[in-house]
Chain A
Amino acid sequence: MTENRQKSCMKTAADYAYPFALWDLRLYLDTHPDDREALETFSQMCAAYPQAGACRAGNMGMNDNCGCERWTWIDGPWPWEYDANRISDTVYGGSHRGNSSDTGNSYRTGNGSCHSGSHSSNSCCSGNGNGNSRNTSYMRGGR
């Protein structure tokens, strides 16, 4: 590596500071998903440092196409749960419906939209009040 290339590869303080600040804020948002001020700060930091991984749309819970009203990163289903691994019928061409496979550990966010495990942009702003973590259904087994 030439001297010149080394120098141009060198990072600035901002290259560490912004990703770290965004990371710390996401930890806060995990337990305070409806905090508007925190969401606003997250947006502002992404505007100042858009190359952060956390700021890519649909990547880590922040969608910059809508004025997000809550932190949807935490919304279920999470990847290890049955519901997150369903694949739509059109892919296989057969009928794979089955609520009966509900083991009691299926989690729905209450708005009926498909969370496929990646946080797609159009499901970000569910913001309908009943999707927040406090009311997330759990233990809603068929038993």
Chain B
Amino acid sequence: MFCYEKQLQYPVRVKNCNPRLASIIITQYGGPDGELGASLRYLSQRFSMPYDDAKGTLTDIGVEELGHLEMIGALVHQLTRNLTPEQVKAGGFDAYFVDHTTGIYPQSAGGTPFTAAALQSKGDPITDLHENMAAEMKARTTYDNILRLSDDPDVNDVIRFLRARDIVHYQRFGELLCRTQERLDEKNFFAVNSAFDRKAD
């Protein structure tokens, strides 16, 4: 089940309005490498993991990504506070604004609504862990790109935190991959799916 802690994992305090930046950052809310996709990917994969440490790690990291989703929402919300229509137009925010005003909607920076097509839950532990390591790197690159485009220190502080967390998650999944491979008979590495085939152990 899911509980909710009424506090962000890391504080978001953005003083300046910036709808242009908001329309970029929204991509980590509903875009292909964003937090929603990451969370759904991990929370879905955990069902088919045969190992307790994988179930625990995927659950915990999946939950943490929901917390990050909330932080991205907070960023976009604070960047679009008290906008005038002129600011909307000047910030190139009009296309988003016409459909969502300053509401938060899960889409990519390019306007593609959130889709599970960008994630996979393959039901094979080795495959899934590789998928997750790639996902964390994609997210990290996206944060790198946001940092290239943003000069707001309040925003960048939060983005750097989220970027660092993605690197930590990458390391955690890498560790899980090692542990998973250790459990398998070397000859069977790619010959069996330990979540499905009977002779894996």
A: residues with CB less than 8 A from B are 11, 15-16, 19-20, 23-24, 26-27, 30-31, 33, 53, 73-76, 78-80, 104, 107, 133-134, 136, 138-139, 141, 143
Contact = CB atoms under 8 A, between A and B. Distances in A.
Interface size class of B (residues with CB under 8 A): 20 to 34
Contacts of A73: 56
A69 to B, nearest CB: 16
Contacts of A136: 51-52
Contacts of B122: none
Contact of A138 (B47, B50, B60): B50
B198 interface: yes
Main secondary structure of the interface of B (DSSP, over half): helix
A27 B198 contact: no
A15 B7 contact: yes
Given A16-B7, A74-B52, A79-B1, 12 more contacts: A15-B7, A16-B11, A27-B57, A27-B64, A31-B53, A31-B176, A53-B5, A75-B52, A78-B55, A136-B51, A138-B51, A139-B200
Nearest to A33: B53
B9 interface: yes
A107 B52 contact: yes
Contacts of A53: 3, 5
